[in-house]
Amino acid sequence: MMAKTGTKPSLVALLAATAAGCGGAGRAPAYVGGQVCAECHTAEADRWAGSHHDLAMQAATDSTVLGDFSGVSFTHGGDASSFFRQDGAFFVRTRGPDGSIQAFQITHTFGVTPLQQYLIELPGGRYQMLGVAWDSRLPAEGGQRWFHLYPDDSLTVGDRLHWTGPDQNWNYMCAACHSTNLAKRYDLQRDAYATTWAEIDVSCEACHGPGSRHVSWATGGATATDAPVAAGLTVDLASSSDGTWTFGDGATVAHRTTPRASRAQSETCAACHSRRREIDDDYQPGDHFLDGFVPSLLTEGLYHADGQIQDEVFVYGSFRQSKMYASGVTCSDCHDPHSARVYDSSNGLCAQCHRATIYDSPAHHFHEAGSAGARCVECHMPETTYMVIDPRRDHGIRVPRPDLSVALGTPNACTQCHVDRSPAWAEQAVTRWYGPDRPPHYGEALHLGRLGVPTADVALAALVADSATPKIVKASAIELLGNYGGGRSLQAIDEALGDVDPLVRMAAARASAVMEPSDRYQAVFALLRDSLRAVRDEAALVLAAVPVSIMPGRQQAILDSAILGYIASQLANAERPESHLNIAHIQMARQRFQEAEAALGTAMRLDSSFVPALVNLAELRRLQGRDPEGEALLDRALAIDPQAGAVHHARGLLLVRLQRHDEALGALLRAAQLSPDQARFAYVYAIALHSTGRVAEAVTALEAATANHPYELDLLAALVSINRESGDYDSAIPYAERLVELLPDDLQVQSLLDQLRSLGNR
């Protein structure tokens, strides 16, 4: 890969310098630069040139900037941004961090198609992503225009998504995946960056790791101890794709001749092509994925209940659900790893493993040959558009299930194309073509768990027990089981703690918070010594609240060490107030209030408007018996965000403790109104009404909340209790019947219903 700027050094000089200074025995491997790799790997370098990886980030020059900087303006939310050139450089005149209109120089381009963004350097080494982007598509596709990435939001200075805000900070949000060997180098004391990179784009060593030992091997200077992987590479990507795909006699789907021996390839790609949180800012290619990152599971809001992509989750989470992943398919089976393009944009790509005579036929897809509906990817990898104009395919490679759309409200490929038709119409068509039988789908259990249906633990535990369940689905089911405290859930969580897949162990450690402290200690302690950081961190977090009296001193020391590891993981993103909030949480669980207060103070120093820090500081004051100080903190939080239901709720509870009941009721009511999705807020408000003698109002509030939360047991139990207490047995009976329906195995609930029916019949 050739350097973009500057004079190319000679290969002889580069190899000599590399062998002398970087690849010797005992030295850590060093980055040598893509131009060194290109001297031997010319074909790969040629394919890489001009790829999305090559153009991921570039200095802003005449040849790299695609946007119109001829003096044009673009207005969004009442703010106009004008784009112009001056002295050969590119500028935008827009509203800056202090709220005034200023001119800012564009330092770098970011991406190339279908859109290009632009970076601006601000004080403290911060590079910020401009919210106005250039649509680089052709005019016939609607391109060659400026547009805003958040067209429905009127963002102002102070909003996290404003281009000056923390969620548009390149150093944290983008840099590691758009450059090679990035060192963020954030200084917490100065709240400033000194970020560096080996290469400005995604070059060879971003995937293959530092190449000095490989160069030494290539020139004959390496020894066996210098080469932990074949040929001196720090990560062996080729072994992930060993073997070939072949059709057995009469088979319609190919199988891999040798099992996938390594996950190195998919995990190396996952470091960037996943929705994840970084826990090690020194992660290098070849490190285990869960040593550097915590990937998102199939969480509500990120994924639909059936696992389809919803928010911007990239590829890893959907691909891990697929039958292709389970069968041993790797990224490079479909994508050229150097050009990043698929090998074939036609159905021929899928025909590598699926016999075209069977699957690339109207007898299979029931669409006219050559039409959109005849393309494999349109049905099995439907697109979702992000960043306004950027369509991305779901890599779950799943069978369309309009029946799940009918039952669960999930999307399906059929009506994403036939937008004028209903899911019921699509399901009727699928039934005509393929018959009425549909296999059970894990989305049904995940849907029940998300709703909080009391009996969902049965379906979720069955998912966990089924060896055919994709591991990321199993981990997601375990996470939901953490909301249930019954024996079935606890057994499933306990067994999952020993699963061979670290994603499952990580989720099980997280879910174990539902266990009693002594049981949690016995079940989870061994994971403090797990081989992977993400698992150890989750174990440390849930064990921090276990009373020290349960744990022998030697094991307390092990836990203390693991907690230090957890704190170090949080400090990988030390510029984020959320990281210090998490540190405060674990310190509060340990009742180390001084350390917790220091962490919350750091969060507030980084972002004085960070409401969660104020709320948690108020909670800390409660634990210290200093509620009046906590009230002032909550008032300050409400001044920042008057619509925060959680803050009103916390303030209401505080006022109850201070015995200012009328004020408390007002705050609790406001919380329930602002956050109708929070059943707990409505429940607490109703109980507060009842405690002050306003029984009818309490019943009305509970009935309204039950309509929104039909599976919430506390609401139903409160309606039974209050009506029974009032002697209105007939009104209590329907709610008791609902409890029996939701808890069919609970003999006490059945007995309660029998008593109410007996009393109601008098």
In terms of Cα–Cα distance, which of 568, 528, 567 is closest to 551?
Answer: 528
How crowded is residue 545: how many other Cβ atoms within 10 Å of its Cβ?
15
Instruction: Please state, in angstroms and as integers, the Cα–Cα distance from residue 750 to each residue in 80, 91, 186, 225, following that order.
Output: 66, 72, 60, 70
Domain harbouring 744, CATH code:
1.25.40.10
pLDDT reported for residue 227:
53
Instruction: With respect to residue 501, please indicate whether it lies within any of the assigned structural domains.
Output: no
What ranges in 271-322 are assigned the alpha helix state H? 289-292, 316-319
Q: Are residues 84 and 168 in the same domain?
A: yes
What ranges in 139-251 are assigned the alpha helix state H? 170-173, 175-178, 204-208, 212-218
Could you tell me the residue range of the domain that residue 739 belongs to?
679-762
d(CA 30, CA 184): 17
The amino acid at 725: E
Final residue belonging to a domain, choices 234, 252, 274? 234
pLDDT reported for residue 261:
80
700 Cβ partners below 8 Å, 6+ apart?
Answer: none
In terms of Cα–Cα distance, which of 199, 152, 192, 156 is closest to 175?
Answer: 199
The amino acid at 534: A
The CB-side HSE value for 503 (13 A sphere, CA atoms) comes to 21
Q: Are residues 329 and 247 in the same domain?
A: yes
Q: Are residues 312 and 175 in the same domain?
A: no
How crowded is residue 271: how many other Cβ atoms within 10 Å of its Cβ?
21
Q: Are residues 132 and 49 in the same domain?
A: no
Q: Are residues 718 and 740 in the same domain?
A: yes
Q: Are residues 170 and 286 in the same domain?
A: no
State both tokens at 566. 């957890």
Q: Are residues 251 and 390 in the same domain?
A: yes
Final residue belonging to a domain, choices 213, 234, 255? 234
How crowded is residue 158: how many other Cβ atoms within 10 Å of its Cβ?
12
Give the N- to C-terminal CA distance of the chain in Å, as an integer: 89
Instruction: With respect to residue 224, please indicate whether it lies within any of the assigned structural domains.
Output: yes
d(CA 651, CA 360): 62
* Beta carbons of 475 and 506 less than 8 angstroms apart: yes
Instruction: With respect to residue 20, please indicate whether it lies within any of the assigned structural domains.
Output: yes
Instruction: With respect to residue 347, please indicate whether it lies within any of the assigned structural domains.
Output: yes
d(CA 146, CA 114): 12
Q: Are residues 197 and 280 in the same domain?
A: no
Instruction: With respect to residue 608, please indicate whether it lies within any of the assigned structural domains.
Output: no
Final residue belonging to a domain, choices 401, 418, 445? 401
State both tokens at 374. 């005849």
Instruction: With respect to residue 759, please indicate whether it lies within any of the assigned structural domains.
Output: yes
* Beta carbons of 711 and 731 less than 8 angstroms apart: no
Residue environment code for 333-351, b if the CB has 16+ CB neighbours within 10 A, otherwise e: bbeebbbeeeeeeebebbb
pLDDT reported for residue 1:
34
d(CA 348, CA 692): 72
Instruction: With respect to residue 355, please indicate whether it lies within any of the assigned structural domains.
Output: yes
Q: How many domains are contained in the chain?
A: 4
Q: Are residues 276 and 366 in the same domain?
A: yes
**pLDDT average per 10 residues of sequence, the chain (762 residues):** 38 44 61 95 96 97 98 94 97 96 97 97 98 98 98 93 96 96 97 96 96 89 60 82 86 92 91 97 92 98 98 97 95 95 96 96 95 96 97 97 98 97 97 96 98 96 97 98 94 97 98 97 97 98 95 93 98 98 97 97 96 98 96 97 98 97 97 97 98 96 96 97 94 96 93 91 59
Instruction: With respect to residue 634, please indicate whether it lies within any of the assigned structural domains.
Output: no
Q: Are residues 163 and 303 in the same domain?
A: no
pLDDT reported for residue 24:
45
Q: What is the pTM of this model?
A: 0.94
Q: At CA 323, angle to CA 469 and CA 51, rounded to 5?
A: 130
Q: Are residues 214 and 244 in the same domain?
A: no
Continuous segment of H or E residues that includes residue 110: strand 101-110
Q: At CA 133, angle to CA 127 and CA 139, rounded to 5?
A: 155
d(CA 154, CA 131): 11
Radius of gyration of the chain (CA): 29
Residue environment code for 470-501, b if the CB has 16+ CB neighbours within 10 A, otherwise e: bbbbbbbbbbbbbebebeebbebbbbbbebeb
Q: Are residues 120 and 35 in the same domain?
A: no
